[in-house]
């Protein structure tokens, strides 16, 4: 590959899956991440796209939610407030300069439901606003959507859950079994396949469970699943042989 993109589908707390997948790639083929032309994401996936180290913060949010009896539905737990606090703490002052031209965030315009892709950011605050907009899932995250440049937006996954998907050189990741490059496998038995926001999702018992639990903090074994799925992708593409010698 000469020029390629990477795209992360939105998936709620199941984005912890990306922590394992990225750990594998960083360990065995870091050039895939460092050399990517554009990195896109929607909803929770845009946090991973904004800064790969943000995976650790997704992990922190999941642990925080699990402290409450009702998890993310506990009245004292605010997902967006936690995301915002993490971004304010972790993003460097020049984050908008680093992100402009490389980060691609999917938003859904509240007024008409149309998709908007944002890849230029005038300030660090504006970058945070865009990320907050893409993560806002109605009702689950509240009733008043955030705004960006005076326009209200909501979860980017509702209109385009895999930005850059249309470009053939994009490496796609999703924690649902389907046609994404890095994703779980379920064997051969599937009822049928559906497409949601450019993400192919097989209809099977495994995915039904994954979708239904996307808004609840999962167990940390999902990190191992992400690691193994990424390892399978690298082996199938031959990256282990060309970019990094395989481990014994």
- The active-site residue out of 7, 15, 43, 134 is 43
Dihedral of alpha carbons 186, 188, 194, 198, sign: positive
Tens digits of per-residue pLDDT, 84-101? 777 888 788 988 998 999
Task: For residue range 120-175, list pLDDT tens digits in order.
Answer: 999 999 999 999 999 898 877 778 899 999 999 999 999 999 998 888 899 999 99
Residue numbers of the domain that contains 197? 4-243
**pTM of the full structure:** 0.79
3-state secondary structure (DSSP) of residue 10: coil
Band the pLDDT of 115: cuts 50, 70, 90. Answer: very high
Is 133 a member of any domain? yes
Question: Beta-carbon neighbour count of residue 73 at 10 Å?
Answer: 12
Active site residue 122: no
> Which one from 57, 106, 134, 155 is the annotated catalytic residue?
155
| Under 8 Å between Cβ of 121 and 96 | yes
Going 175 to 184 to 197 to 29, the CA torsion angle's sign is positive
Give the chain's domain count.
Answer: 1
Domain presence at residue 248 = no
Dihedral through CA 171, CA 48, CA 30, CA 119, nearest 10? 70
Contact 174, 42 (CB under 8 A): no
**Residue 95 is assigned to a structural domain of this protein:** yes
Active site residue 155: yes
Q: Is residue 227 part of a domain?
A: yes
Q: Kind of pairing, strands 38-42 and 103-109?
A: parallel
């Amino acid at each position: 590959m000469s020029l390629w993109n990477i795209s992360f589908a939105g998936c709620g707390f199941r984005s912890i899956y990306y922590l394992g997948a990225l750990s594998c790639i960083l360990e065995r083929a870091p050039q895939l991440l460092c050399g990517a032309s554009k990195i896109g994401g929607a909803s929770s996936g845009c946090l991973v796209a904004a800064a790969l180290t943000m995976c650790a913060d997704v992990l922190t949010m999941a642990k925080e939610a699990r402290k409450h009896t009702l998890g993310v539905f506990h009245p004292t737990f605010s997902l967006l407030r936690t995301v915002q606090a993490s971004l304010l703490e972790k993003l460097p002052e020049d984050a908008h300069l680093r992100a402009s031209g490389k980060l691609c965030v999917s938003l859904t315009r509240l007024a008409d439901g149309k998709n908007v892709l944002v890849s230029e950011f005038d300030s660090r605050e504006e970058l945070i606003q865009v990320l907050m907009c893409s993560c806002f899932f109605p009702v689950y995250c509240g009733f008043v959507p955030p705004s960006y440049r005076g326009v209200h937006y909501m979860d980017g996954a509702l209109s385009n859950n895999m930005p850059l998907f249309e470009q053939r050189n994009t490496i796609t990741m999703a924690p649902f079994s389907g046609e994404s490059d890095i994703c779980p496998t379920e064997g051969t038995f599937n009822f049928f396949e559906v497409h949601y926001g450019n993400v192919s999702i097989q209809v099977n018992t495994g995915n039904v469970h994954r979708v239904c639990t996307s808004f609840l903090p999962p167990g940390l074994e999902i990190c191992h699943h992400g690691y193994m799925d990424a390892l399978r992708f690298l082996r199938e593409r031959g990256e282990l042989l060309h970019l990094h010698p395989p481990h014994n």
